Each structure stands twice: as structure tokens, then as C-alpha cells.
Amino acid sequence: MRTHMRIVVIDDHPLFVRGLELLLPDVSDSRATVVASTSDAASAAGLVRRTVPDLVLIDLHMPPPGGLRAITAVRQAEPRSRVLAMSGDADPAAAVEALRAGAEGFLPKSSEPGDLVHPLLAALEGWAVLPGSVLAALTAEAGGGRIEVRLNDDERDLLRMIAAGLSTLEIAARLHLSERTVKRQTATLLRRLRVSSRTEAAALAGSAGLL
């Protein structure tokens, strides 16, 4: 597991950002460092492009263009950076929207700084980080976790690799296929599972016992 994280924070609450800057290095034994931040959602993509962080934390409830637009822009600007949405709102619907905008996970802003270290490291390693309420919302939309689809062995293998956080390039290397083929197979699998992102597929598959 990688042991150091360079983090960019997109959040318009300066006290929260400053708290992360001061506390994360301390509670993580210097494994996590905030290298840059901005309170302007419109400048998020440019900041991430310049700094190329490992992780980007984005507050969903920001002034226009807002956190969801920032997530989409950041994903397009620097696909190598993993994105986690954050919110003080307990409504899981906002988190689900963030996943569909391209976030790889969600963390409540009510979390204690010390409790953030393991989820951040897990996200960096490619795992989907989702509270139980968000996972429940995802599975409820898919019929309470009951997936009426039969997957063949190849589809299950692909789903396991997606759930493990492997990139398209890594999956292509393991399967000895082209990236284009893997992208096409992934898109087909997402349609069969009736989800719109790899994170949703991994979360839904885990809750439904497909793994």
C-alpha cells in the first residue's frame, strides 16, 4: 500500500480546510499532506492540473458552479487523481449524484480527522469509500440489492478487477486485451448492472454478493 498522499482540497469553508491542513499530517504520521486548496469551484480543475495530487477532496455544497461540476471538471483535467466528495449533509442522494459525476467515493464532513486516514489510504489504493447510508441508497435504486442479471465467468472477473480499483490499463494488461476492448466490455457490464459508474458497480456488486 502506498504510504504518502498529496491532497488537494476544494472547499469554501476556510476553517475546515485549515483544520485538515493542520491535523491530517499529525493524525496520519505525516502520510497525508494538503498541498493546495481553493474555495472556488471554477478554479478546481486548473489547480489539480498544476499540482497533480494523489487525492482531491471536493465539498458538494459550494457556490456556483458547485461541487458536482467541479468533480466532473477535475476528472477530465487529471484522470490520475482520485476524487472523493465530502458533505456535511446527511442526505445520501447528494453522495449518489457525486458518484455519478465521477467521484470514487464519499466521506461525511462530520468524520473525526483521525478517522479519515484509513478511508483516504483505501481510496488511494483504488477502493470505493462509501458510508452505509450511501450504499443502501445505491442498492435501493437497484431493487434492494437484487440484481436480475446472470454474469458469465469473464464478466465476474472483470467486475472483481473493477471492484479492486484496477485502472483500464491495468485490466487490459492482465487480460491481454487492448484498452479499447476493456472500455467496451466495461461499458457493457455497467449497462447490464444498470449503473452509471465503476464505483456504483463495485458497491452494488459487493452488497448483492456478486463478488
pLDDT digits (tens, 9 = 90+) for 95-107: 888 888 888 888 8
75-103 burial code (b ≥16 CB/10 A, e <16): bebbeebbbbbbbeeeebebbbebbbbbb
Beta bridge partners of 58: 10, 85
* CATH code at 143-208: 1.10.10.10
pLDDT at 201: 79
Contact (CB, 8 A) for 183 and 168: yes
pLDDT at 44: 97
End-to-end CA distance of the chain: 22
**177 or 116, which is more confident?**
177
Q: Which of 23-37, 155-169, 190-204 has the highest mean pLDDT?
A: 23-37
pLDDT digits (tens, 9 = 90+) for 136-148: 676 666 555 455 5
Contact (CB, 8 A) for 3 and 37: no
Query: Cell 499540482 maps to which residue?
Result: 51
For residues 90 and 80, what is the distance between their CA atoms, to the nearest angstrom?
A: 29
Contact (CB, 8 A) for 110 and 88: yes
37-58 burial code (b ≥16 CB/10 A, e <16): bbbebeebbebbeeeebbbbbb
Is the full-model pTM beyond 0.75? Answer: no
* β-pair type (55-59, 82-87): parallel
pLDDT digits (tens, 9 = 90+) for 38-63: 999 999 999 999 999 999 999 999 99
Superfamily of domain 5-138: Response regulator (3.40.50.2300)
pLDDT at 30: 86
Query: Cell 459508474 maps to which residue?
Result: 197
Rounded to the nearest angstrom, the gap between the alpha carbon of residue 64 and the centroid of all alpha carbons in its chain is: 21
Residues in the chain: 211
Query: Cell 457493457 maps to which residue?
Result: 188
5-138 and 143-208: same fold?
no
Beta bridge partners of 6: 33
Q: Where are the domains of the chain?
A: 5-138, 143-208
DSSP, res 90: -
**Mean pLDDT, rounded, of the chain:** 84
